[in-house]
Amino acid sequence: MKDSDAMMLAASGSWRWARIAGGLLLAVALPHTARAQDQMSGAYARAERVLDANLAGAIENATVVPHWIEGGKRFWYQRDGRDGPEWVIVETASGKREPAIDPRLLRQGLQQRLGEAELPQPLPVTAISAKDVTVTLADRVLRCQRADGRCSSSAGTPERPGVLSAPDGQQGVLVRGHNLWLQQGDAEPLALTDDGVAHFAYGTAPGTSLFAIPRMRARQPLPPVGLDWSPDSRYLLSERVDERAVRPYPFLESVPQDGSFRPKLWQPRIPLLGDAERGRQEVALFDIARKRKTVLDLPEGWSFMDTVFAWSGDLRRAWGLAVTRGQRERALVEIDLASGRTRLAVREATPILGRFNAFIYNPPNVRVLERSNEVVWFSERDGWGQLYLYDLRSGALKRKLTSGERTVRDVIGVDEQARRLFFTAGGTDEDADAYHVRVYSVPLDGGRETLLTPEPGVHVVRARPMGNAVAGSAQNAGLSPDGQVLIDSYSSLEQPPVTVLRSAIDGRILHTLETADVSALAAAGWRAPTRVKLLSADGRTPIWGTVYFPPDMQAGKRYPVIDAIYGGPQVTSAPASYPEAVLAMNPRSRASLAELGFIVVTIDGRGTPGRSKAFNEASYAAFAEPQLADHVAGLRQLAQRYGSFDLERVGIYGHSFGGYTSARAILTYPEFFKVAVSSAGPQNFQGFYPVEAVFPIPDYGKGRSSAPDPTAVPDNYAALDMSPLAGRLKGKLMLVYGDLDENALPAVTLQLIDALTKANKRYDLMYLPNRAHGFYRTDAYYTQRMWDYFVEHLLGQEPPDDFNLRLEQAPATPAE
């Protein structure tokens, strides 16, 4: 055989080169199964390259984090250069750019000063002035001349293990024997409290914190939690929870990480739905100079949600946020720091889903305006997320600031002198995409809004902090200190991020700062997904989704479909921006599964946030049912639209709330969903901790919200339990859980397993020792086995035997 002929045969995939005696190469025919294994190994390798975790940092210069200087006339930022980080200074008026310092010169100057010490990468540049660059290391601060790179050194603030340092760097607090101790300089610590006891301890995470076990397992001293220092280091605010009456919840560490063989038992105090004892919150204010503790009292039924989000400029007052049970009422709490007295300055009753932001993981949309004694307040009272202006002294409403059928997302900042408020908003049903986000300004004294970012896409502007609780963070906000310009990064699925400097007055683009470099994504083989608009199952409401198609799709061929779902009422999952499509929060692996030959779809159906209040409230009592109906309806519409969707081969997967919705999908729509992977799902809620921020207060009849006996299931939660549906399972279901997952309790998965066993149903189980909740992001074994499950049962092929998935980040730990 000629070499050229052999090469053609080998390239066809039916042959493999084999070396024989004399160094000759022979093309040897492969069995069909071996050829298929080779093809699947290649597909897995391509899927690995586009996996979310492996693309972290692949978009260069996706955004700009400003450090404002000279009151906003100039700023500097760090950018991704060809050979590493670079630092640029920009003059806002002219757009003139200049390098702050040659990175090689800076590194050489640091190395000369530090000798052979290894320098961190990237260099932690913390300040740039007209003359020098400041680099802050753990034990010293170096100032290097911009002109020649020569560096001088001074002592930094030493790290003290287990100490929460005050802003002045001279004192801090630590925990000993359940109490707080004050560390001042190098002196011996002084006891600040003496009434701390087990399960009512200071500086310790309660069982409901979702990370109690990692702190219990820690071998090194950890800084205390639940504490806030005032900016002048005089006051310390402490939150602790009295859990002494809360029953312990057992977790079994079956594979101890110390190398021993006897399982370890960890028992944080976690109340379950319906428990009468849920823990009592104590918030106390310490006057450090006077060594005085004052317990802050709220009216009966109220508790702090955010203890302090802002301290007054004169440090006489502080403000926090408080709620009643189920967040039926919300309030801004003003704290008098001298006396410890509190008052509910602004309050509002909200029977369903009372929130401070339509996206509950985002910062509250509340701002205290000290200069005018006013409060910017978020409310959905007209059916959409809007902003209102209140009088801080009287609590009276002054005026509604925003209007229209769209929802405010985030307050960007307030220019108190010019009396202008800046915010982002989206969610308009009539928009080309309801999940596009734009930036607006509005006068505080009444008047029309100004759209500052007309370009289609998702616009992101870094928000100013809510107060001065985070020292120095205001200098990194997207709105300049003088309120004249803002830094906006925007993108869509079709367009990588572009960052511009805009006029904050009329939105004009003054200068383009960065156009993101996505060449690394292209080199990895990543391809942008497709945005789609659909109709919900009610036939009227528009919904949106995002579709990841397989590479090299063939006309006339139908492909298996995977529904990637989360479905929780607090976040959206279908990416509308370029960065979200590359590195998603949850679910992961969408681009990877497309590389394996699946069409992967995510839909934000009814019950998710970002739209109207009614749209979000669809999940309040029914949870997943409206959303699953929308997903089925949406997939059927896409099959008609594209013709490449094989609706006889539909799978679904999800994690956390997505673990619940994916398992429920295959049980409630057994003829539609054939394969499901459900990881870390709250498969019932009677065995779960209370989630009354997004679901109703439990109703056990006769006005009772506490369970009359351990077997009781509240009437308004009974339909959410998956166990009665176990007998409906027809397809392939794999359940996955980590044994130290405090977020999604392992027992509720085992309780569903018990129901499936009693129903004589076949299921698959993946038990992951020493995994907490974050394994869906960081665990290579779970990710590869999830791929395998769909390849085997939905694609109908054999997963590769010789593939070992690699992640470019650390493996999962119980702290995640």
Model pTM score: 0.92
- pLDDT per residue as tens digits for the range 282-308: 999 999 999 899 999 999 999 999 778
pLDDT score at 24 = 44
Boundary of a domain, candidates 129, 155, 181: 155
Rounded-to-integer distance, Cα 354 and Cα 397, Å: 18
Q: Which residues of 201-214 are buried (b: 16+ CB within 10 A; e: fewer)?
A: bbbbbbbbbbbbbb
Residue 198: inside a domain, yes or no?
A: no
Same domain, 108 and 12: no
479 domain-assigned: no
Q: Are residues 13 and 93 in the same domain?
A: no
Quote the domain boundaries for residue 118: 67-155
Across 5-15, average pLDDT: 36
Same domain, 548 and 620: yes
The verdict on 615 and 750 lying in the same domain is yes
In a domain, 582, yes or no: yes
7: pLDDT confidence band, cut at 50, 70 and 90? very low
On the question of pLDDT at 3 being above 70, the answer is no
Would the pLDDT of 566 be above 80?
Answer: yes
Looking at the structure, tell me whether residues 579 and 664 fall in a common domain: yes
Instruction: Name the β-bridge partners of 320.
Output: 333
Q: Please give the single-letter amino acid code of residue 704.
A: R
Lowest mean pLDDT among 153-167, 281-295, 459-473: 459-473
According to the model, what pLDDT value does residue 186 have? 84
537 within some domain: yes
What single letter denotes the amino acid at residue 436? H
**Contact present, 531 and 495 (Cβ < 8 Å):** no
Among the ranges given (5-14, 218-227, 454-463), the one the predictor scored with the smallest mean pLDDT:
5-14
| The residue count for the chain | 816
Task: Give dist(CA 99, CA 76) in Å, integer.
Answer: 9
On the question of pLDDT at 216 being above 80, the answer is yes
- State pLDDT tens for residues 352-366: 889 999 999 999 999
What is the average pLDDT value for the chain, to the nearest integer?
A: 91
Query: Do 8 and 137 lie in a common domain?
Result: no
Query: Domain ends where: 128, 155, 182?
Result: 155
CA atoms within 13 A on the CB side of 418: 15
- The CATH number that applies at residue 538 is 3.40.50.1820
φ and ψ at 96, to 5 degrees? Answer: -60, 130
| Contact status, residue 459 vs residue 492, Cβ threshold 8 Å | no
Helix (H) or strand (E) run with residue 284 in it:
strand 280-287
**Residue 116 in domain:** yes
Residue-level pLDDT at 465: 79
590 shares a domain with 725: yes
Residue 391 pLDDT greater than 80, yes or no: yes
647-675 tens-digit pLDDT:
999 999 999 999 999 999 999 999 999 99
Residues 632 and 678 in one domain: yes
d(CA 622, CA 155): 59
Tens of pLDDT along 786-809?
A: 999 999 999 999 999 989 999 986
Which of 44-53, 160-169, 328-337, 735-744 has the least mean pLDDT?
160-169
The answer, yes or no, to whether residue 262 has pLDDT greater than 90, is: yes
pLDDT of residue 809: 63
What's the rounded mean pLDDT across residues 30-51? 84
- State residue 816's pLDDT score: 36
Write out the two tokens for 27. 């093309």
The predicted pLDDT at position 31 comes to: 52
Mean pLDDT over 6-32 rounds to 41
Domain count, the chain: 3
- For residues 747 and 634, state if they share a domain: yes
In a domain, 292, yes or no: no
Distance in Å from the first CA to the final CA of the chain: 57
What pLDDT, on a 0 to 100 scale, did the predictor assign at position 473? 53
Q: In whole angstroms, what is the distance from residue 418 CA to residue 407 CA?
A: 24
Q: Give per-residue pLDDT as tens, 409-449.
A: 999 999 999 999 999 999 988 889 999 999 999 999 999 99
Assess contact for 623 and 720: CB atoms under 8 A.
Answer: yes
Look at residue 180 and tell me if it is in a domain: no
Quick one: which H or E segment has residue 748? helix 746-758
| 807 belongs to a structural domain | no
Q: Do residue 86 and residue 40 come from a single domain? A: no
Q: Assess whether pLDDT exceeds 80 at residue 471.
A: no
Q: Is the pLDDT of residue 577 over 50?
A: yes
**Which of 155, 186, 201 is the endpoint of a domain?**
155
Query: Is it the case that residue 810 has pLDDT exceeding 50?
Result: no
pLDDT of amino acid 32: 56
In eight-state DSSP terms, residue 185 is T
pLDDT at residue 203 tops 90: yes
**Do 654 and 733 belong to one domain?**
yes
Residue 777 shares a structural domain with residue 651: yes
Nearest Cα residue to 435 out of 493, 475, 387: 493
pLDDT of 224 > 90? The answer is yes
